[in-house]
Structure formats: C-alpha cells, structure tokens
C-alpha cells in the first residue's frame, strides 16, 4: 500500500497553522503594496494606464470631482500591482498549508502551477489592455458622439480599466481550475467532453457579462480565447486522469500482491 502522506494533525493545530499562513500572506500583501506604490509613482504607471483613452480626449485631460480621487486612484493601482507581486508568496503559503496532505509527486507540481498561473493571468491582462480596451473605448466613445460631449472622470476610467484587466486575468485561470479539479478526482475529462456545447454557451455568457457595453467585438475577444483555454483544459485533464488511473491500478496491484503473499500456502 502507499505510504501515509502525513501524521494526522489535531484540529486546533490546523487552525493555528492556518492563522500563521494567513499572517504571512497578509504580510506579503503589505510588502507588495509598498512596492506597488513605488512602482506606480516611480514609473508613472497612471500615465501608462491612461494612454488608451488619450486619443479620444482631444488634448484634454481626465478630470476628477473629489479631492481624494487622486489618492484613491494611486492606492487602487498600487494594490493591483502589489497583489500581483505578492501572488507567488501567497501561493507558497497556501502550498505550505496543503503540503502535509500531498504526495511527493504532487508537491513537485507546485512550481509549474505557480508559473503557469502567473503567465495565464498576465496573458489575460495583456489581452484586456492591448486589444479589448481599445476596441471598447472606440465603440463606446463614438456612440451618439454628435449629441453628447463626453467628460470622463479619472476615478471612473481607472476603475473601469482595473476591473476589466483583473477580470480577464482571473478568467484566464480556467485551465488551472479544471486541471486542479481533475487532479482531486472531482471532474473527469469525459464530463468535460460531454458538456462541450454547454461550455461554449457558458464562455459566451461569461464574456458578455465581463466585457463592457453591447459591442460584440469585445465579447468575441474574450469568448474565443476562453473556449480555446477550455479545450486545452480538456486535453490536460485527459493526461492527468490517465496518470491517476495508472497510479491507482499500480497501487491496487501492489495491494493485491501483498495480500496474496500474506495468505498461507
């Protein structure tokens, strides 16, 4: 039989372990926020986020209507940057909390999973900023352009950009979620294949909710990559499922061999 993963830990010890992992994660987020403030101020990240809308302002600047708006925008941008910086440390603390329940083979997957998650999130943010955001701005700011004069506030615009980028980054984590559920035995690849048509509708619905306005172009820009990621998840799920089945069969054969060897002649 397979060796036991770890000795059982009392419930109160689990709570104590969880408390310390949360403290370390919150500390990492605090350090990330401090670094985020430096990055946003030193590298003028606000101007970088403002660039997509500048052609539509016709030489004007974004306006703010409350004295605290500039500070709020600075802190919001810094929190997003700090969260991304702190993400590996937070993921590491989650792994430390879960690692006693994992096998050696599963522990080796931590670094690839963290790297894949970071790359997927970055890909979603890049798609939102460089492709979807310009499409959305061009569509939304040309609606009734003759009848209405846009006066975009800084807080609304930066909130819009931040929400869009974070949402795209989050939904791009779909392959990790599906492969994780497969590794835990909750989802099987046959289930994913059987409900492929439902997945198409779900991807379209998620894209329609997340993307701004009624412009079909931005919806397609998220729905198509999201469905492609779903198909990639199906392939990876099959690979993980087959490996799990082979391991299970090997353990079962080993257990039967041990049981057969222990029987009297």
Cα 201 to Cα 69, 140, 232: the distances in Å are 39, 25, 17
Which pLDDT tens digit goes with each residue over 94-134?
A: 877 776 766 666 667 777 877 888 888 889 999 999 999 99
Cα maximum dimension of the chain: 95
Domain spans in the chain, listed from the N-terminal domain onward: 10-140+149-172, 173-257
CA–CA separation, 76 and 49 (whole Å): 12
Q: What is the DSSP letter of 103?
A: -
When pLDDT is cut at 50, 70 and 90, the band that residue 8 belongs to is low
pLDDT top residue among 245 and 32: 32
Structure pTM? 0.78
Lowest mean pLDDT among 15-19, 123-127, 202-206: 15-19
- In the predicted model, what is the mean pLDDT of residues 236-251? 82
> Is residue 260 predicted with pLDDT exceeding 80?
no
Q: What is the DSSP letter of 145?
A: T
Which pLDDT tens digit goes with each residue over 49-98?
A: 999 998 888 888 888 888 888 899 999 889 888 988 888 888 788 877 77
Burial of 64 (0-12, 13-18, 19+ CB in 10 A): middle
């Amino acid at each position: 039989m397979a060796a036991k993963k770890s000795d059982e830990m009392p419930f109160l010890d689990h709570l104590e372990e969880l408390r310390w992992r949360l403290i370390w994660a919150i500390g990492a987020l605090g350090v990330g926020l401090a670094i985020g403030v430096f990055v946003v101020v030193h590298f003028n990240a606000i101007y970088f986020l403002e660039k997509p809308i500048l052609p539509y302002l016709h030489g004007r600047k974004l306006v703010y209507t409350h004295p605290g708006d500039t500070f709020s925008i600075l802190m919001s941008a810094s929190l997003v940057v700090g969260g991304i910086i702190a993400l590996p440390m937070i993921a590491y603390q989650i792994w430390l909390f879960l690692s006693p329940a994992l096998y050696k083979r599963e522990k080796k997957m931590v670094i690839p999973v963290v790297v894949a998650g970071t790359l997927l999130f970055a890909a979603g943010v890049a798609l939102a900023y460089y492709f979807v955001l310009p499409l959305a701005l061009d569509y939304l700011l040309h609606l009734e352009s003759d009848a209405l004069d846009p006066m975009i506030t800084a807080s609304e615009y930066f909130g819009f950009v931040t929400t869009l980028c974070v949402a795209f980054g989050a939904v791009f984590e779909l392959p990790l979620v599906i492969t994780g559920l497969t590794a835990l035995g909750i989802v099987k690849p046959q289930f994913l294949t059987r409900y492929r048509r439902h997945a198409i509708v779900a991807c379209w619905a998620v894209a329609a909710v997340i993307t701004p306005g009624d412009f079909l172009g931005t919806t397609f820009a998220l729905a198509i990559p999201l469905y492609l990621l779903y198909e990639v998840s199906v392939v990876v799920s099959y690979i993980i499922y087959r490996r799990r089945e082979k391991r299970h069969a090997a353990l079962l054969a080993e257990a039967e061999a041990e049981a057969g060897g222990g029987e009297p002649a």
